[in-house]
A and B are shown apart, each in its own frame.
Chain A
Amino acid sequence: MAPIVSGYLGLSGTPATVADTVAYAIAISILIMAFDYFFGWVERKTIAKIHKRHGPTYAGKYGILQNLADFVKLLSKENTVPKTADKLVFLITIPLMLSISIFLIFLLPFSPTLLETNIGLGLLVVFVLLSFMPLIIFANGFGSGNKFAAISAQRSVIMLLSYELPIIFVIAAVGALANGYNIAGIVNAQSKWWFIVLMPVGFVVFFIAMLAELERTPFDIREADSELIAGWLTDVSAPYYTLALFLDYTRMFLGSLLIAIIFLGGWSGPLLPPVVWLLLKAFIVSFFIMIIRATMVRMRIDRLLRFGWIWLLPLSLLNLILTYVVFIA
């Protein structure tokens, strides 16, 4: 990497060899795939238990292979592009979003010894790229030439207005508390107290805003299966829908990792290795998101906007001020 770029990003850690980087990339990719697959199965089973039914049981032990079967089935289907769709936009958006999500997970260090990708402004880079997602969804929604997708695209932008600012204010408070946006630095700053204890208000705001960011119930307004059929995914056919499912779980993984890193002390924990701790915390967060999905009712878009501006934004500002007054001033 050119020195000026690495200097700007504040690349820390020892310069890695190409072989190391490739090995790391492969390891993380496998981890993401495994976690997505496991999440998919756990979500099906969890929601089935809440529904008082069994969930998948036939494919493999406890239905663990059900997702694989679905995956193979979906991949064997024909990929269709609607006549009214803008072919390029329609086909590029989902892979693009998936690659951005995977790239963002690459940026997160998984343990104190895996700091190759730990860049100086890590958290800011993550959120800058993450806030592109609704815009890509917007492009997809309009590109697919379907009215339901177009409505979904509009909703996507309205949602962006309601939750993006609170996230930024919470991140500002985190940066102030950790003295920088370096992710390893944020985890190290939590060695005594986790940030969830230091700023509970910020955690609540961030968690709710993340639910909206990840399109999970009660903010699955863009997909809204009982209203918009599947929102921006209405015309997406099987192979791309598989990618969209992967995208969904990868984003959930990313979101849970972020919550675990920013508020739950990241990889810190006794006995177990740091990577296991981080994954465990991320898993617990995801589990909560699943339970919320099974028990909540979808919010209306205008109510979300109101909720965002009346509650989330002032609370995030309050959190920022409190953090400054109590811990810094």
Chain B
Amino acid sequence: MKKSILIIEDDEAISDTLCAVLRTQGYAVDPAFSIQEALEKSAASRFDVALLDLGLPDGDGKDIIPLLLSRNAMSILVISARHQENEKVAALDAGADDFINKPFGIDELLARIRVAGRKRMEHLAPAPKFKSGVLEVDFGARSVNLMGDNVKLSPKEFNILAALAASAGQVVTHRQLLLAGWEDPRIDGQYLRSYIGLLRQKIEEDPAEPQIIITEPGVGYRLALDPE
């Protein structure tokens, strides 16, 4: 079955281009040009993924995230300007799954949509383990394998890596990781950075130039691995 995408974007040029390109990729696409229209369309039909522009003519896009999610268990991908890191964090903490900076290349967008669509399936049936070519995280057994070798992690390290792996390919905010590791979002972000450093020491080839746990400045971290 075709995956369906709701494009909530007020600029017609961008919306038209995205609609045209995404249809060629086999998605069912429906554009909404305002918050009003987005709410109407999301009430009328189900979507797998929503592309949400934050600046809309009738309000702030991030305000409708909880409402969209309550109607429909879709994956929300926020489109925002790069410097709006606070806006991004707010949208992600409100329930958006990922963000993409404007302007973006189409490859990057398609990759994000693929991950978001997959994530949506996992929402329905959570996978017991994350498995990619190099890294394997077993959520139940709390074990981690790197290229076939077992990696010993402390409970906090495991919780953080598991949170990243559960949203593999998508950004996880500092707050979400602090909740995963310490169950308290008010902990100093410095502790999180230290643990990310420890994890990188254990799983990255060059911890000074990480390829697996990627930093998203001002927002959080992303596990840059595709599941098999």
State whether these chains interact: no
Residues of B within 8 A of A (CB): none
